[in-house]
């Protein structure tokens, strides 16, 4: 039963990610910035050929390889953690984020990013990136919680 929930989390995040990216790509001009909350949050449309802050820009083959390896390892861990709901939620979010950006890289050769925090110097990100980040935070919580239980 829980494995079905993992699949639903992954599917929901990937679908939302792809829909938001499609909406942004069709409704916001490239590099245009639309303030949503002035001084705090904007929507923009950029193409990211690298990772955060455009590091490793243009290394598409590297991203293909590392993502496939990461997805295989993550799916293995997801299977191995059946019954540990916090691990499964975290890994499902991480898988969804990795897969959402992988779809862009395969289909477009770049990742569509759109969420811009105007009050700090932070990379523009997308739903998949947000899912990855939340997944990693939840994973740290799960590990910390497990370590406390074992102590």
The C-alpha angle with vertex 107 and arms to 19 and 64, in degrees rounded to 5, equals 115
Query: Exactly one of 6, 113, 118, 147 is catalytic; which is it?
Result: 113
Say if residue 131's pLDDT is above 60. yes
Whole-number average pLDDT of the chain = 91
Please say if 147 is a catalytic residue.
Answer: no
pLDDT band at 56 (very low <50, low <70, confident <90, very high): confident
Please say if 104 is a catalytic residue.
Answer: no
CA distance 90 to 9: 10
Max CA pair span of the chain:
54
Task: 54-63: list long-range contacts, CB under 8 Å, 24+ apart.
Answer: 54/123, 60/105, 60/109, 63/102, 63/105
Query: Exactly one of 6, 17, 104, 129 is catalytic; which is it?
Result: 129
Residue 71, token pair as written in the block: 């997805």
The C-alpha angle with vertex 95 and arms to 90 and 98, in degrees rounded to 5, equals 125
Domain ranges of the chain: 2-146
Q: Is the pTM of this model over 0.75?
A: yes
pLDDT in tens, 61-111: 888 999 999 999 999 999 998 888 999 999 999 999 999 999 999 999 999
């Amino acid at each position: 039963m829980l494995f079905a929930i993992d699949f639903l989390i992954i599917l929901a995040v990937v679908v939302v990610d792809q829909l938001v990216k499609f909406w942004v790509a069709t409704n916001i001009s490239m590099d245009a910035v639309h303030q949503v909350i002035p001084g705090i949050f904007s929507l923009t449309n950029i193409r990211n050929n690298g990772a955060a802050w455009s590091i490793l820009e243009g290394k598409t083959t590297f991203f293909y390889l590392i993502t496939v390896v990461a997805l295989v390892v993550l799916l293995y861990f997801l299977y191995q953690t059946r019954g540990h709901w916090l691990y499964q939620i975290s890994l499902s979010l991480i898988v969804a984020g990795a897969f959402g950006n992988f779809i862009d890289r395969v289909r477009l050769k770049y990742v569509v990013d759109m969420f811009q925090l105007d009050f700090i110097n932070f990379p523009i990100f997308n739903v998949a990136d947000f899912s990855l980040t939340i997944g990693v935070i939840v994973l740290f919580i799960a590990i910390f919680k497990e370590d406390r239980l074992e102590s």
